[in-house]
Amino acid sequence: MATQNIKSGQTKFSEDDVLRQIEQAVLDHRLAPGTKLKEVQLANLFGVKRGLIRKVLTRLAHSRLVDQTPNRGATVAKPSVKEGQDLFATRRVIESAILETLIGHAEEKHVQQLGRMLDREQKAYLRGDTEGALGLSVDFHRELARMAGNSVLEEYLNDIIRRTPLVILTHLGADEHNRCRNQEHEAIVDAIARRDVKTAKKVMHQHLLHIESKIKHKPEKPPADLAELLRPHSVGQPA
Amino acid sequence: MATQNIKSGQTKFSEDDVLRQIEQAVLDHRLAPGTKLKEVQLANLFGVKRGLIRKVLTRLAHSRLVDQTPNRGATVAKPSVKEGQDLFATRRVIESAILETLIGHAEEKHVQQLGRMLDREQKAYLRGDTEGALGLSVDFHRELARMAGNSVLEEYLNDIIRRTPLVILTHLGADEHNRCRNQEHEAIVDAIARRDVKTAKKVMHQHLLHIESKIKHKPEKPPADLAELLRPHSVGQPA
DNA sequence: GATAATTAAATTGTTAACAATATTTTATCA
DNA sequence: TGATAAAATATTGTTAACAATTTAATTATC
């Protein structure tokens, strides 16, 4: 994924590497909404030229993960409550369509694969690995999209998933987490196995509403400290 | 929109100007899929630096309107049949959700506004202005999305609308046009006025299926001539 | 000591020159 | 003539230096 730079001993990253690292940091709640993203700082951090960072920031802005203001640089996006609501509402539409499409051509192997994912998720949760369980829970939703086989629906779901953490962090406390309930995932897989579109959609709908209902205004938090972008689970400071 | 450059007499464009011009050219079927987009050529054409073109091309690639290959530059995207099908299938989902959302809070003024748009569209069609009618027809769908008030659904519909002409041009003849039928638009507005979600969705569904059903492989066309990017309705040549 | 103006520093934005790669043209030979 | 190789050209990619702008620090003024 990243080649070693012999001379300086510093790790070098490609453009896509940097992009994914930042996206992952957002997904992991390590980058707080509003965090200033300085070009030279990031360039040093990743051991790349500023021009590359510049390109990455533009791309991130395009997917609404960062806000760019002329002459004032980029910050991690702070979606409005409205945008958050729209995002969740659209997610219900997309996931519903994914289920309908998937059940339309679901095979036994799909159900089995989903079953394996449920197991892994459950195990991670039982051994107290909440971070891992959260990741696997996201993977579950992604896998449904992949299996449905509609690349555009998949693309849109991934877009929504990438943007969701910023909504959560901006409008919910970081504590009251949006962990998916494994038992709801189970119910969805059961419905898929039975080709029961109606139930699958209903459960998914409830499943998503449960998180959405929590969106509300959150008290401001004091700014934290900087540049541990790469250390897992430390939250950056808003600008 | 664009400021005059006194010195050279050439028109200068901002980054967003250039982006929109190219997007519009795609929308108007002036840029054929596969057309090579050379950086210096575009820079001269728009009277801007190459760096700006470079940024625009990256952004266009991000919305899948152009394909970028390392060291070999950018071409207007040539979506696969599969991508086209996925795009249309997703469009049905999105437009359906838009109707449901809109009808949920539609007011009299919305219906009136839509009625006015139908009139304009009809008039353009009757006086033989097919190009204008096509644009107004697209506007009709966009307006439904705007009225629904969900920014994400609107964003996704616009994304699909931008990408659709490339599917049409790649897999359909440029002749058999995808003009929306005004009478179907009328039926949709009627259903909205009656708050009849079911009918509205059904008509929209048929309306969209009608176009989708035409997707099939198209014989190759010989390459045409170049650089009339700005002259209305001339199709650029594939690379 | 607070506020405003000035200066200095930091940060972003732009450009032109150069490097790397791909494409076309020309030359060479069978 | 046709194929292959070499050279020339065109095109894309990268970089470092500079310009413009914003932000922070400093000084001046009341």
Q: Chains A, B: CB contacts under 8 A, how many? A: 54
Q: What is the pLDDT of residues A21-52, one digit of tens each?
A: 999 999 988 899 999 999 999 999 999 999 99
Q: What is the pLDDT of residues A204-236, one digit of tens each?
A: 999 888 877 766 555 554 444 334 443 444 344
Based on the fold, state whether residues A89 and A168 are members of the same structural domain: yes
pLDDT of residue B112: 94
pLDDT of residue B2: 42
pLDDT of residue A216: 58
Based on the fold, state whether residues B91 and B207 are members of the same structural domain: yes
Report the residue from B59, B150, B152 with minimal CB separation from A62.
B59
Q: What is the pLDDT of residues B99-146, one digit of tens each?
A: 999 999 988 999 999 999 999 998 998 898 888 888 898 999 999 999
- Subunit contact B152:A59, Cβ cutoff 8 A: no
Domain that holds residue A103: 81-212
Note whether A119 and A113 are within 8 A (CB): no
pLDDT of residue A5: 32
Q: What is the pLDDT of residues A169-182, one digit of tens each?
A: 888 765 555 566 77
Based on the fold, state whether residues B129 and B59 are members of the same structural domain: no
CA separation for the pair B27, B7 (Å, rounded)? 32
CA B199 to chain centre: 26
Based on the fold, state whether residues A94 and A189 are members of the same structural domain: yes
- Subunit contact A90:B62, Cβ cutoff 8 A: no
Based on the fold, state whether residues B38 and B153 are members of the same structural domain: no
Q: Is B80 on the interface with A (CB under 8 A)?
A: no
Based on the fold, state whether residues A30 and A100 are members of the same structural domain: no
Based on the fold, state whether residues A66 and A90 are members of the same structural domain: no
User: Does residue B120 belong to any structural domain of this protein?
Assistant: yes
Does the C-beta of A12 come within 7 A of strand C?
no
Total domains in the fold of chain A: 2
Angle at B18 between CA B13 and CA B24, to 5 degrees: 130
User: Does residue B198 belong to any structural domain of this protein?
Assistant: yes
User: Does residue B2 belong to any structural domain of this protein?
Assistant: no
Does the C-beta of B232 come within 7 A of strand C?
no
Does the C-beta of A205 come within 7 A of strand C?
no
User: Does residue B153 belong to any structural domain of this protein?
Assistant: yes
Q: What is the pLDDT of residues A99-135, one digit of tens each?
A: 999 999 988 999 999 999 999 999 998 898 888 888 8
Contacts (Cβ under 8 Å, ≥6 apart) of A163: A63, A64, A65, A77, A79, A87
Which residues of chain B neighbour A59 with C-beta distances below 8 Å?
A: 58, 62
Chain D positions with a protein C-beta closer than 7 Å: 11-16, 21-23
Based on the fold, state whether residues B56 and B154 are members of the same structural domain: no
Three-state SS annotation for chain B: CCEECCCCCCEECCHHHHHHHHHHHHHCCCCCCCEEECHHHHHHHHCCCHHHHHHHHHHHHHCCCEEEECCCEEEECCCCHHHHHHHHHHHHHHHHHHHHHHHHHCCHHHHHHHHHHHHHHHHHHHCCCHHHHHHHHHHHHHHHHHHHCCHHHHHHHHHHHHHHHHHHHHHCCCCCCCCCCHHHHHHHHHHHHCCCHHHHHHHHHHHHHHHHCCCCCCCCCCCCCCCCCCCCCCCCCEC
Q: Between the CA of A111 and the C1' of C3, what is the distance in angstroms?
A: 70
Based on the fold, state whether residues B138 and B199 are members of the same structural domain: yes
User: Does residue A236 belong to any structural domain of this protein?
Assistant: no
User: Does residue B68 belong to any structural domain of this protein?
Assistant: yes
Higher pLDDT, A218 or A64: A64
User: Does residue B26 belong to any structural domain of this protein?
Assistant: yes
- The interface predicted TM-score (ipTM) is 0.85
